[in-house]
Amino acid sequence: MALVPTPVADGPVFAEVHMGADSSAPTVRATVVQASTVFYDTLATLDKAERLLAEAASYGSQLVVFPEAFVGGYPRGSNFGVTIGNRTAKGKEEFRKYHAAAIDVPGPEVERLAVMAGKYKVYLVMGVIERDGYTLYCTVLFFDSQGQFLGKHRKVMPTALERIIWGFGDGSTIPVFETPIGKIGAAICWENRMPLLRTAMYAKGIEIYCAPTADSRDVWQASMTHIALEGGCFILSANQFCRRKDYPPPPEYVFSGIEDLTPDSVVCAGGSVIISPSGTVLAGPNYEGEALISADLDLGEIARAKFDFDVVGHYSRPEVLTLVVRDHPTSPVTFTSASGKNEVLHK
């Protein structure tokens, strides 16, 4: 493993982590991006994403995975003025600004991301904050190397205070996409700790399991290694590396309950990592700064791992334990005619 420093125009120095693979087996060059959002500035974040994507493509990457909420931002440290029974005016204004930084799916930002994927000929997995009316979702978008938007996954269970700002995804957005470089899907941050969700993805045949996250603790690595072994799949976990200065300054943005932060204080230390189906760490974890972290994925490793353990195949006991997934879209309101819905929308 070697770190190769590479300058990025108008930005920091990024590090590419190279790993060799068995040349006799099919391989995929994959990159996880460890970088911060330009908070409250979606256009600047998309510009940064394109610079990073171009850099990864220059190394020959075929698949590039960005962190959770990269477009739209992860509001670390904010409580949006919420206490039980009360919401402050300042907190409501914070939500208005956060809502404004989110993106519609589909929408112009999605179209731009699709163009990027096609321009650089990479499969792109991008964490975004999705705006659906006035409800926000923590979402992952998938694009193929021809610039086509494949679909999305909405986080099914936001964690802790995330539930005051993000809605809940349903079973209709738990996709695994079959592509020429493997079957690709994603789960976001702590929903990776939900065994039934993982089992649903294993049943869809996931081979390249993307895990965008906001968790930089050491214990996250244990979860990622376990999932690689359990699912017999490659794990690509991308997290942001953020300093206090990557967020707006106080009093516009306040890190609640955290004192003595300087502009250079690290508020999320990354820990992005790539792990093989055998549990071997191929690249990372990186806690040093913004980086591009890459590895060559030997797809032959999947079959070798499944020979040992296939959780939804020869190591399952369906006569004892089964899982039912309700994978249809859910809606709080259903109209019996299209005209009825349109009347409501256009009043």
- Report, as residue numbers or ranges, the catalytic residues: 68
Residue 190's SS3 state is: helix
Residue 21's SS3 state is: coil
Helices 195-203/219-231 angle, 10° precision: 40
End-to-end CA distance of the chain: give it in Å, rounded. 61
CB 53, CB 43: distance < 8 Å: no
Helix and strand numbers (H, E) in the chain are 7, 18
Within 10 A of 147 (CB to CB), how many other CB atoms are there? 17
| Beta-carbon contacts of residue 255 (< 8 Å; ≥ 6 apart) | 76, 77, 78, 244, 247, 261, 267
| Beta-carbon contacts of residue 320 (< 8 Å; ≥ 6 apart) | none
